[in-house]
Structure 1
């Protein structure tokens, strides 16, 4: 396939004109000692907004139980921050 793949061409155009990334991190679980829940953006965010997304994630904490897919923070640059781990 190489450079004839249409997905690759579109990716290269997007990467040059509007680079985006999926952000992964973790959020503190208040009612569990030394426990964090892993989270990620449900869809990619603009690369220049990553530090703002991380600032929001760092300020957030949750209480267990948490299920995979639970929305941890809603409406962050057009997407949500969702849990990627179950905490019982």
Structure 2
């Protein structure tokens, strides 16, 4: 029995799991050292690829991310 070529998830496919762009996934990779490492790097541009069966691992990483921080902006004006 022969099998076809191995298919990988690219950044756009990973982003589609969460409704974000491929650029957002690239930022996650750059900013979060615990983002799941790709299984391969493809082509001259060294594009990352993840095996489809790792989608649950990537979802678990995303679910464990902290939410937006509290504070950090200009205080709201008081309504008096």
Which range, TM-score by smaller chain?
0.3 to 0.5
Q: Which is higher, the Rg of structure 1 or of structure 2?
A: 2
Greater strand content? 1
When normalised by structure 1's length, the TM-score is: 0.32
Greater helix content? 2
